[in-house]
Amino acid sequence: MTLVPGRRAGKRGSNPFSPVLVIWLVVIGVLAFIGSLVMGAFGDDFKKGDNGGAHALSRSAVGYAGIIELLRASGVEVAIDRTGYTAGGDKPLLVVAPEPYATAEALNAVVYDGDRLIVLSKWAPGRHPTHTGWVRGRDLVPTGMVTRVLEEPEEPEEDEDEGGQAPTRAARAADATRLGQDQSNRVRRLLRADGTLFATTGKIDQLRMLKLGKDWRPVLVAEGGGVVLARKGDSWLLSDPDMINTQGISDKATALAGLKILALAKGDQGVVFDVSLNGLQNRKGMLEAMLQPPFLGVTLALGLAALLLAMQAMGRFGPAIEKPRAIALGKRGLADNTAALIRLARREHAMVERYALWVRGEAARAVGAPHALSDVELEALLDRLSAQADLTPFTQLRAKAAAAKDIGEALTAARRLYSWRLEMTRERR
């Protein structure tokens, strides 16, 4: 028993979707998938970041977008980094402005081996209810919270001092850097450590000044007050952000003083403002690496391979195949099933002699042989006619058909009988 091959659905009404609609759905789906990959990899780079915070992307009163514009107008190369800057080649000054709640561990997570300027926070303004990026109100951040970012992490095993005793908590507190402030709102004169004038600012409200702890040395001091700019190794520390933020540099004198402070710290290099400590970080992942050189070529090659596979699938598969009947109907089904049974019994070669008898009957009708002839007489007549036509005698062809032992011999005998019949019935002429 055989199964009749299925027929492909030819009626248009059997397919609820038109090919054009399906193609459009596939194209839109592919574009949406690519867009989601790109936004997932580079979405953080598209964030404007103008949220009113005290960072380089903010244009508010406490932000640093204004000083960036001044630096660029002065010919200084300025960049904004979201990843935790790591320099290569020339090492620009890295400016970090930690949030009030930032810790020393978060600050140290910003990897950099060049000079960096730490700008301590001061103001905690409120968001404006109607204008995005604006702020209102000026609440001061407690000084104790601000200086936490400068605290040294506690070691599990502390070294002993000269007397053989481990440093106490009080001793560590005495060595810590503290922050104080002046309650007045007035012009400030900034002096170098040797007492010479460095710059004069505009009015700065409640200037914050440092009382330096261990290893820090003063660079600039406020006349009659404390330290404004200090240095320890490659680290610079600015006590008051009003020296460089937008509300501070709205005064021309303060803007010039802020530019001089940055020039002192950066030397001949450029400036990079880090915003990874302000909630605007963009940590590079595997997806972003795949969409950037040198791996971009591999990603494009894989995408092209997927496109070729899709095109091959569209050309290979046509309309849906209708499910066929388990048992076919009609004469064609009967013949197919009979042939399958003969094939299953491996008796194909036994059918060739029956085919030879059928060929004999066709040749007899074609040559007009009398009906009264016996089988032997009819075959003798056909042999004589074969000799006259220079053909192989029919009796020899029938004998070879009867002697077939396998399918190969049976096919050879059947082909010869077929050619002989065409010659005798003149079907080739």
Token duo for residue 400 = 């070879």
Identify the CATH assignment for 48-128+140-149+175-279 out of 3.30.1460, 3.40.50, 2.60.98, 3.30.450. Answer: 3.40.50
Give pTM, 2 decimals. Answer: 0.57
Read off the pLDDT band of 261 (50, 70, 90): very high
Q: In sequence order, what are the beta bridge partners of 8? A: 321
Closest CA to 378 of 387, 386, 370: 370
Q: What's the rounded Cα separation, in Å, for the pair 181 and 161?
A: 33
Backbone φ, ψ for residue 289 (5° rounding): -65, -35
Write down the pLDDT at residue 152. 67
Tens digits of residue pLDDT in 205-249:
899 999 888 789 999 999 888 899 999 988 999 999 999 999 999
Average pLDDT on 197-203 reads 93
Please say if the pLDDT value at position 251 is more than 90.
Answer: yes
Q: Which contacts of 121-130 are long-range, i.e. CB under 8 A and separated by 24 or more positions? A: 121/54, 121/97, 121/146, 121/241, 122/62, 122/146, 122/208, 122/240, 122/241, 122/242, 123/54, 123/62, 123/241, 124/100, 125/52, 125/60, 125/61, 125/62, 127/52, 128/52
Q: Each residue of 236-265: b (16+ CB within 10 Å) or e?
A: bbbbbbbbbbbbbbebeebbbbbbebbebb
Token duo for residue 252 = 């021309």
Average pLDDT on 112-119 reads 89
Range name among 116-120, 155-159, 307-311 with the lowest pLDDT average: 155-159
Q: Are 166 and 158 in contact (CB under 8 A)?
A: yes
Read off the pLDDT band of 42 (50, 70, 90): low
Write down the pLDDT at residue 212. 86
- Could you give the 3-state DSSP secondary structure of residue 392? coil
Q: Are 246 and 65 in contact (CB under 8 A)?
A: yes
Q: Are 217 and 232 in contact (CB under 8 A)?
A: yes
Domain boundaries, the chain: 48-128+140-149+175-279, 346-424
Q: By percentage, how much of the chain surpasses pLDDT 70?
A: 82
Write down the pLDDT at residue 46. 60
Q: What's the rounded Cα separation, in Å, for the pair 363 and 369?
A: 9
Write down the pLDDT at residue 306. 85
100 upstream amide cis, omega within 30 of 0: no
Please say if the pLDDT value at position 429 is more than 60.
Answer: no
Please say if the pLDDT value at position 12 is more than 60.
Answer: no
Write down the pLDDT at residue 73. 93
Q: Are 87 and 266 in contact (CB under 8 A)?
A: no
Tokens 């574009």, residue located: 31
